[in-house]
């Protein structure tokens, strides 16, 4: 376990160095970053309402999906942000997500569309975060916070959604 933490810390330091040396051409979105890097993180407190339900963060929304809709931990997740939101499903081993009385499978188009819709609402209802996303211009967005990737929302998918929303918001401002 200590070796994994050491490797992850070294990995993050290397990624941060690459971003620094890119002179702003690459932004690594993560909760421990500075400025817009942490503002764009799913951990950031960013209250939004989706389909009549209030969430304190995208991470709380996402982790809550791992529990059936009437499960107490799902309701608790909706109120969480930062690492507390991530940890609520720490010991849960599932490949199913639940939304609107449906089971949604990892890597499905339906899950992608739900994630994009939730992120869109997050940004529309938090103008400072929307502005942070727009201020990235055409900068490459990456999400490398640990060596192991998320199974439910892989980093490439997360970044693709943010880039698509950034383009959508740019078009709306024209």
Q: Once rounded to an integer, what is the mean pLDDT over residues 120-142? A: 88
Q: Report residue 24's pLDDT band, with 50, 70 and 90 as the boundaries.
A: low
Q: Once rounded to an integer, what is the mean pLDDT over residues 90-119? A: 87
55 versus 17: which is more confidently predicted? 55
pLDDT, tens digit (0-9, with 9 covering 90-100), for 32-89: 666 666 678 787 889 999 999 999 998 889 888 988 888 888 888 888 677 777 766 7
Please state the pTM of the whole predicted model.
0.79
Task: Give phi and psi for 170, each to the nearest 5.
Answer: -60, -45
Task: Note the pLDDT of residue 34.
Answer: 65
Contacts of 143 (CB under 8 A, 6+ apart): 28, 29, 30, 155, 158, 159
Q: Report residue 157's pLDDT band, with 50, 70 and 90 as the boundaries.
A: confident
Q: Once rounded to an integer, what is the mean pLDDT over residues 16-32? A: 62
157: CATH = 1.10.357.40
Q: Once rounded to an integer, what is the mean pLDDT over residues 101-113? A: 88
The count of domains in the chain is 1
146 is in which domain, residue-wise?
2-173
172 versus 154: which is more confidently predicted? 172
Pick from 58, 53, 54: nearest CA to 42: 58
């Amino acid at each position: 376990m200590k070796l994994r933490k050491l490797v992850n810390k070294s990995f993050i330091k290397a990624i941060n160095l690459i971003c620094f040396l890119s002179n702003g051409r690459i932004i690594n979105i993560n909760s421990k970053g500075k400025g817009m890097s942490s503002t764009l993180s799913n951990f950031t407190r960013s209250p939004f309402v989706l389909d009549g339900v209030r969430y304190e963060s995208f991470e709380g929304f996402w982790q809550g999906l791992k529990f059936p809709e009437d499960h107490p931990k799902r309701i608790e997740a909706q109120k969480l942000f930062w690492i507390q939101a991530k940890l609520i499903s720490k010991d849960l081993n599932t490949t199913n997500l639940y939304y609107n009385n449906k089971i949604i499978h990892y890597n499905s188009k339906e899950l992608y569309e739900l994630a994009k819709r939730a992120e869109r609402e997050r940004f529309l209802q938090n103008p400072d975060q929307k502005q942070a996303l727009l201020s990235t211009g055409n900068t490459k967005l990456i999400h490398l916070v640990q060596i192991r990737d998320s199974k439910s929302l892989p980093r490439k998918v997360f970044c693709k959604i943010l880039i698509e929303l950034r383009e959508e918001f740019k078009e709306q401002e024209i």
